[in-house]
Amino acid sequence: MRYAHVCYRVFDLDRAIEFYCGALGFLELKRFPIRDEAINVFVAPAGSEDTPLELTYNFDRDEPYEIGTGYGHIALNVEDLDGTLERLAAIGIEPERPPYQVREGGSRLCFVRDPDGYRIELVEKPAA
């Protein structure tokens, strides 16, 4: 068994793609229409194309989805957390709180939210 992908249902496909492909620099890998019901757009960071994020947009949806209390987040490793946060701030995306470490000497991290409210953890590994 092998991990395949994660799926999010998104309310505004253009905003979601702008966030993931524009703000975070993901690659758009492929689009699959599902009859006249929906479209799936697969995106992934460079180097992670074999485990993409599936953004599903349902054509008949007229209100945002409820995320629920069971969802946690996805985590992305970044080389330069401060630089990433500066790029995101320039387009109006702010972290939930300033970067922090869970334990001394551990990774620096912080959380941002995508246009649909899904939490994204940005993790900067400590220098070796």
CATH number assigned to the domain comprising residue 30: 3.10.180.10
pLDDT of res. 70: 82
pTM: predicted TM-score of the whole model, two decimal places? 0.86
Question: Are residues 2 and 33 located together in one domain of the fold?
Answer: yes
> Do β-strands 100-101 and 38-44 pair in parallel, antiparallel, or remain unpaired?
unpaired
Q: Which residue type, as a one-letter code, is found at position 83?
A: G
Residue 53 has pLDDT above 70, yes or no: yes
Question: Are residues 23 and 49 located together in one domain of the fold?
Answer: yes
Range of the domain at 57: 1-62
Question: Are residues 76 and 57 located together in one domain of the fold?
Answer: no
DSSP the chain: -----EEEE-S-HHHHHIIIIIIS-PEEEEEEEETTTEEEEEEE-TT-TTSPEEEEEETT--SPPP--SS---EEEE-S-HHHHHHHHHTTT---SS--EESSTTS-EEEEEE-TT--EEEEEEPPP-
Question: Are residues 43 and 82 located together in one domain of the fold?
Answer: no
List pLDDT tens digits, range 60-106: 999 999 888 888 899 999 999 999 999 999 999 999 999 999 888 88
User: Of the listed 49, 86, 121, 124, which one is catalytic?
Assistant: 121
Q: Is 94 a catalytic residue?
A: no
